[in-house]
Structure 1
Amino acid sequence: MKYLTSFFLVLLALFFSNCTASTGINQPSDNEKTMPTTTIMEVTTFKTGADVKMDAFSQADKTVEDAFTSKQAGFIKRQSGVNEKGEVVVNVYWESLAEAEASMNKFMTDPSVASYAAMIDGPSMKMTRFTAGEAFDAPESGFVETMTFDLKPGTDLSAFNTLNQQVKTDYTGKQAGFLQRLTGVNEEGKQVVAVYWASKADSDAAMSGFMAHPTAKAFMSNMEESSISMGRYLFMNKELSKKDKVVALLNSFNTGDQAPIAYINPEKYVQHNLDVGDGLAGFGAVMQHAPPQGFKADVVRAFEDGEYVFTHTVYDFFGPKVGFDIFRFEDGLIVEHWDNLLPIQPANPSGRSQTDGPTSIVDSDKTEANKKVIEGFITDVIINHENDKMTTYINPAKYLQHNPSVADGLDGFGAAMKYFAENGMVMEYDKLHMVLGEGNFVLSVSEGKFGKGEHTAFYDLFRLENGRIVEHWDVIAPIPAKSEWKNKNGKF
């Protein structure tokens, strides 16, 4: 074993010495010496050995990070990811080139990394260091796209750098789940772009429109096509986001997986579904009474707002239903839950269902502004009946409606209100309890009366564009009499 350890360390030493020599990293040019270096981006890609299990590799990778890399001078961040082919990328960020090289020299002589090195297919390994003009700032990312390429001969470097930054401002930075786009160059002129996303789903959604965007087309046209190498990697050993935990919990209805129940705090779980007992015991009691086919959940939309996550979901839960769920977290665990459920209804007069329509989150920087719009709309128009302000909040030229009984547009809304009045029915909002949002989607939770005056919970989801409402979904459900409650926490 001693000789095997030495063999793998020598193999790695030979490999990395070749890599640094081939990129000229060991002897920075005069230009590089004077360049304002913000971050050194070290990108290593490789395959694992044919017999290596990814779970075992992931654990070994975490050990290397915790016990060695993270303790080195100048270390900023290390992220390891794997793509759908099982290929691995390790991105390490350093404060300086000298500190990156010092760490690598120590790595080559440390026997504690030998078992990790033995899992790597040496011939497949490639490593390059790039100078990036921006500090790494995406610690919560779950997915990365990494692309390296050479520029075509004769490319105007200044014009290309400007165009490179425009890709972010014109397209990538506007997409849901975008966290950071880092660009860099090595001494030979090879370029790198690393785009960090909250999730693979966000990256997938953005990818579909990228190549059609004019700025992206112009950007790609400067690349030497044969030199392009791109990888898309899901990070290993990543702490799940609150949204990820909620989606995993709801998906466990489909899979029967018990692990996501650990995301609920067993000591504190306040339940506001009045048909369910309080605490984790109440949740367990419902699961024990599931029908033979079990429960099903299809999460259509999921959003995160601080310590809250809210979802729009189609359920098979004692019959097909549509619902909104809200989960509150403390210290990474779910401690409180609200919901509103309604049986699935036929399509509305405009042919829309209770859940169809856009799902992509954009305008993340406008979350708070959009929440204020909805708070104003519910307060001014719905509660205080200041109808002259209607078009201040709703786009009269584009208002898509998913309420099962109401057609699109302000005319559809007006026709529904007229029908209610003519038939002695009411839709009265008395109190706004909660407003949550992420980007262009905002959920409001209100209390009032509906139909013949039933005590009712109104959950309304709005999509906004340019500060005005353009689409609406809702679940309107009666609140049972207090004598029927299975917990004492109330609906709100």
Structure 2
Amino acid sequence: MSNKELVLRAVGELFGKQDPSAVDRWVSAGYIQHSSLAADGPEPLRTLVSSLPDGFRYEGARVIADGDLVALHGIYHGFGPQPLVAFDLFRVDADGKLAEHWDAMTPLVTDTASGRTQTDGAAEPADLGRTEANRALVLEFADRVLKGADYSVLTDYISTETYLQHNPEAADGLNGFGAAAATWAEQGKNLVYKSIRKALAEGDFVLLQSEGEFGVPVAYWDLFRVADGKIVEHWDVVAPVPADLPHANGLF
């Protein structure tokens, strides 16, 4: 069983079937938690699964696997009063158990600037032979544009013909991104990327987890799709860093 298959099966039993006993089958005794929803170890996860409300469900959109890391992108229904768009990242250990977990969530927005949803679009990784080239491109973009704030080189990395946007406040195309960034700046929410913490890649998908500021300290999760050497599609979750966590591991 591949790590991708393993994570999908484990999450399906934990959050699909809401089966607390799945913790015994799939979760390491030394499970390390970075989420704000639970403490370390399998027992807090068991408690979380046991307390899921009636009607809770997870709607998966896409899965990205990179070595021992597997990322899920989808929507949780029932964690709160409104659906939450989420990235979940799991590390699988050598024994085939879930050993570590990170996540980020943001409310689902139904009326978006682009008319696209926060999770629709291309779903399956393609162009698998260019995984490392695509990773390198996005990391260079992150260094020069996201961290370096050199927007003069945007067209070196982002397609001027097709740039599909899933951030709810930005329209398609570079002009849409520019207009949204200007509005955010007026609100005192400049895009500040301090460090890129993780970069997962599978084919044309590259997922970055970054630490920065957006008016307040945040975790940026940016998923890019690359075609012909240019970024052509973008999804994201921007999540404030909580003041307190139920563990000492940090959000990253």
Q: TM-score, normalised by structure 1?
A: 0.49
In the alignment, structure 1 residue 471 sits paired with structure 2 residue 225? no
Query: Residue by residue, what CA displacement relative to the aligned partner does 1:244-275 show, whole Å, maximum 9, x if unpaired?
Result: 1211222222223456431211x211000023
Partner of 1:446: 210
Distance 1:305 1:391 in 2: 27
Partner of 2:249: 489
Query: Residue by residue, what CA displacement relative to the aligned partner does 1:14-49 show, whole Å, maximum 9, x if unpaired?
Result: xxxxxxxxxxxxxxxxxxxxxxxxxxxxxxxxxxxx
Amino acid at match of 1:388: S
Out of 360, 363, 367, the residue aligned to residue 124 of structure 2 is 360
Out of 143, 168, 171, the residue aligned to residue 404 of structure 1 is 168
Distance 1:299 1:475 in 2: 15
Out of 184, 190, 196, the residue aligned to residue 420 of structure 1 is 184
Amino acid at match of 1:255: K
Distance 2:155 2:205 in 1: 19
Out of 45, 48, 56, the residue aligned to residue 295 of structure 1 is 56
Amino acid at match of 1:428: V
In 2, are the aligned partners of 1:435 and 1:445 still within 8 Å (CA)? yes
In the alignment, structure 1 residue 329 sits paired with structure 2 residue 92? yes
Partner of 2:136: 372
Amino acid at match of 1:365: G
Partner of 1:326: helix, strand, or coil? strand
Structure 2: tracts of 5 or more residues without a match = none
Distance 2:189 2:65 in 1: 35
In 2, are the aligned partners of 1:365 and 1:439 still within 8 Å (CA)? yes
Provide closer, same or farther for how the CA distance between residues 489 and 337 of structure 1 changes in structure 2, counting only shifts above 3 A. Answer: same
In 2, are the aligned partners of 1:274 and 1:490 still within 8 Å (CA)? no
Query: Residue by residue, what CA displacement relative to the aligned partner does 1:85-140 show, whole Å, maximum 9, x if unpaired?
Result: xxxxxxxxxxxxxxxxxxxxxxxxxxxxxxxxxxxxxxxxxxxxxxxxxxxxxxxx
Deviation at 1:408, TM superposition (A): 0.3
Distance 2:185 2:99 in 1: 41
Partner of 2:18: 256
Query: Residue by residue, what CA displacement relative to the aligned partner does 1:307-341 show, whole Å, maximum 9, x if unpaired?
Result: 11011011114231110111111112211100111
In 2, are the aligned partners of 1:249 and 1:260 still within 8 Å (CA)? yes
In 2, are the aligned partners of 1:245 and 1:260 still within 8 Å (CA)? no
Q: Which has the higher contact order (CA 8 A, sep 6+)?
A: 2
In the alignment, structure 1 residue 308 sits paired with structure 2 residue 95? no
Distance 1:402 1:368 in 2: 24
Out of 242, 246, 265, the residue aligned to residue 7 of structure 2 is 246
In 1, are the aligned partners of 2:208 and 2:223 still within 8 Å (CA)? yes
Amino acid at match of 1:286: L
Distance 2:212 2:199 in 1: 16
Amino acid at match of 1:485: L
Q: TM-score, normalised by structure 2?
A: 0.93
Partner of 2:220: 458
Distance 1:256 1:417 in 2: 40
Distance 1:284 1:315 in 2: 18
Distance 2:57 2:5 in 1: 18
Q: After superposition, where does 1:170-209 map in structure 2 within 5 Å?
A: none
Deviation at 1:389, TM superposition (A): 1.5
Partner of 1:318: 79
Deviation at 1:431, TM superposition (A): 0.9
Q: After superposition, where does 1:120-135 map in structure 2 within 5 Å?
A: none
Partner of 1:435: 199
Amino acid at match of 2:251: K
How many residue pairs get matched? 247
Partner of 1:186: none
Structure 1: tracts of 5 or more residues without a match = 1-239
Distance 2:242 2:174 in 1: 32
Provide closer, same or farther for how the CA distance between residues 315 and 278 of structure 1 changes in structure 2, counting only shifts above 3 A. Answer: same
Query: Residue by residue, what CA displacement relative to the aligned partner does 1:390-416 show, whole Å, maximum 9, x if unpaired?
Result: 111101111000001000000001101
Partner of 2:30: helix, strand, or coil? coil
In 2, are the aligned partners of 1:345 and 1:404 still within 8 Å (CA)? yes
Query: Residue by residue, what CA displacement relative to the aligned partner does 1:187-235 show, whole Å, maximum 9, x if unpaired?
Result: xxxxxxxxxxxxxxxxxxxxxxxxxxxxxxxxxxxxxxxxxxxxxxxxx
In 1, are the aligned partners of 2:58 and 2:76 still within 8 Å (CA)? yes
Deviation at 1:471, TM superposition (A): 0.2
Deviation at 1:445, TM superposition (A): 0.4
Partner of 1:272: 34
Distance 2:66 2:90 in 1: 10
Percent identical residues:
40
Coordinate RMSD, CA, aligned: 1.4
Amino acid at match of 1:476: V
In 2, are the aligned partners of 1:403 and 1:474 still within 8 Å (CA)? yes
